Amino acid sequence: MKIGIDKLGFYAPHLYVDMNDLAKERGIDPGKFTIGLGQDEMAVPPVTQDPVSLAANAADQILDEEDKEKIDLVIFGTESGVDHSKSAAVYIHQLLGLNPRARSVELKQACYGATAGIQMAKGHIALHPDKKVLVLASDIARYGLNTPGESTQGAGAVAILVSASPRLLELESESTYYTEDIMDFWRPVYSTTAYVDGKYSNEQYIAFFQKVWKDYQEQTGRNLEDFAAIAFHLPYTKMGWKALRTVIEDASEEVQERLKNNYQISTKYNRNVGNIYTGSLYLSLISLLENQDELKEGDTIGLYSYGSGAVGEFFSGKLQPGYKKHLQTAEHQAMFANRECISVAAYEKVFEESLPTDGSEKQLNIDEDPAKICLAGVKDHIRSYAAK
Ligand code: HMG
């Protein structure tokens, strides 16, 4: 039985800041952001979007009534969840009108959470082939104004429908993973922004890639030539290339060219959104599938997932016949086209806006947010959402 990704949806907030403007305002050469990091634009979430509403907007695009009936497991991967106790998956369940006869949970391991969710979803579908699993990857990446991590912020969500007989990507059973307790990036429960040892995190991302890639080669006998493309977790778009270039010389010139070219295409959307933590790898996959017309049925795509702290995994999937017809290319391109570029001063203002944490009530103005599903406010410590 084939099990894999049947549908992929993506949502980013409607506001963004141009990285050239941010660089100028911070007194930095813009080339550092656009070339050194490979980021052109950074999504800015208004206070009316949180990880729950972002994910609901991503999932709303792809689910039909049959999906809603058949989903009996909702897995929400996030590291910016809105409650220490209640899972974001339960909020989503209600917002999307899913069948109540379902399990709903939140998973956390930095940017790796959604990959763990996808692997669990595969096991669930193997036991219940007539069901579907909704995996959500949604985050707001915050390091703080004027910090070294500021240029690698972002916000957005990917919704992934996992099922038998998938129409996009069959997930193969070969997969290699590695865990080691390190402090490269973390966010203590009292902090709204992440702590990071930037250089060390880069080194560990690469070291974990090399470990799982070597294990994968040994386990499967595959090499780089077996892949049409490899998509990476992208905290910024140069990061995956820094890992890939450490192994790419093992391949022929032709294979190197192909992987390099497809790597560039897989970074297109991420360049304009920034880091979305759990969803970054899957945004890169969407970017590849929607923007590369030369991929074909049966092509193998490699995927490298990394979540600080840290867990890394290398796995793979096979493109399915007619997959192009089942992508949301036009919707995603329209979403990008309709975003609004804001000044650095406006971004800083939006960044500082937050819900009260002292129990007081706040109603938000959702008229300025074009998203279908918005965070509408908080009252008695309870968040309320509105679907327009
Ligand atoms: P930094 O100190 O701002 O930048 O840190 P830098 O000095 O390292 O420069 C960055 C690059 O720009 C360098 O290129 C420079 O040479 C180049 P490299 O040597 O790396 O190839 N550069 C220029 N290029 C062209 N024109 C110029 C110019 N000037 C400089 N004029 C850092 C950058 C990414 C470390 C920082 O932003 C940071 O700490 N970000 C957050 C951490 C992060 O993203 N780590 C990535 C790996 S960990 C991960 O992926 C997990 C994560 O997603 C979290 C999770 O799992 O939940 C973060």
| Nearest atom, ligand 1, residue 236 CA | 44
What is this structure's pTM?
0.98
Atom 30 of ligand 1, nearest CA residue: 32
C-alpha distances in Å from residue 171, one per residue of 5, 318, 347, 360: 7, 7, 39, 47
Q: Best mutation site among 146, 201, 239 for ligand 1, i.e. most ligand atoms within 8 A of its Cβ? A: 201
Give per-residue pLDDT as tens, 190-203. 999 999 999 999 99
pLDDT band at 150 (very low <50, low <70, confident <90, very high): very high
pLDDT at 386 over 90: yes
| Ligand 1 lined by 177 (C-beta under 6 Å) | no
Q: If you measure from the C-alpha of residue 243 to the centroid of ligand 1, how many angstroms do you get, rounded to a whole number?
A: 13
pLDDT greater than 90 at residue 46? yes
Q: Is 32 in the pocket of ligand 1 (CB under 6 A)?
A: yes
Q: Determine the atom of ligand 1 nearest the C-alpha atom of 308.
A: 56
Q: What is the set of active-site residues? A: 79, 111, 233
Instruction: Give the Å distance between the CA of 245 and the centre of ligand 1.
Output: 16
**Could you give the CA distance from residue 381 to residue 143 in angstroms, rounded to a whole number?**
25
The best mutation among 37, 140, 283 to test binding of ligand 1, ranked by most ligand atoms within 8 Å of the C-beta, falls on 37
How far is the C-alpha of 213 from the C-alpha of 205, rounded, in Å? 12
Ligand 1 pocket check for 149: Cβ under 6 Å: yes
The residue whose CB lies within 8 Å of the most ligand 1 atoms, and thus the one to mutate among 19, 32, 109, is 32
Residue 323 has pLDDT above 90, yes or no: yes
The verdict on the CB of residue 203 being under 6 Å from ligand 1 is: no
What is the Å distance from ligand 1's center to 166 Cα? 36
CA gap 292, 282 in Å, rounded: 15
State if residue 76 touches ligand 1 by the CB under 6 angstroms criterion: no
Name which residue sits closest to atom 8 of ligand 1, judged by CA: 199
Distance 37 CA to ligand 1 centre (A): 6
pLDDT band for position 93 (50/70/90)? confident
Report which protein residue has its CA nearest ligand 1's atom 53: 235
- The single residue listed with the structure tokens 């979305």 is 276
Ligand 1 atom nearest to 234, measured from its CA: 50
pLDDT band at 184 (very low <50, low <70, confident <90, very high): very high
**Average pLDDT for residues 47-65, to the nearest whole number?**
98
CA of 111 to the centre of ligand 1 (A): 17
What's the pLDDT band for 94 if we cut at 50, 70, 90? confident
The pLDDT tens digits for 126-149 are 999 999 999 999 999 999 999 999
pLDDT digits (tens, 9 = 90+) for 259-277: 999 999 999 999 999 999 9
Residue 192 CA to ligand 1 center (angstroms) comes to 21
**Average of per-residue pLDDT values in the chain:** 97
Alpha-carbon 350 to chain mean position: 22
Q: Give the pLDDT score at 291.
A: 98
Whether 205 lines ligand 1, by a CB cut-off of 6 Å, is yes
CA nearest neighbour of 209 among 78, 79, 302: 302
Q: Residue 291 Cα, ligand 1 centroid: separation in angstroms?
A: 26
Per-residue pLDDT, 317: 98
Grade residue 388 by pLDDT with cuts at 50, 70 and 90: very high
Q: Is 308's C-beta closer than 6 angstroms to any atom of ligand 1? A: yes
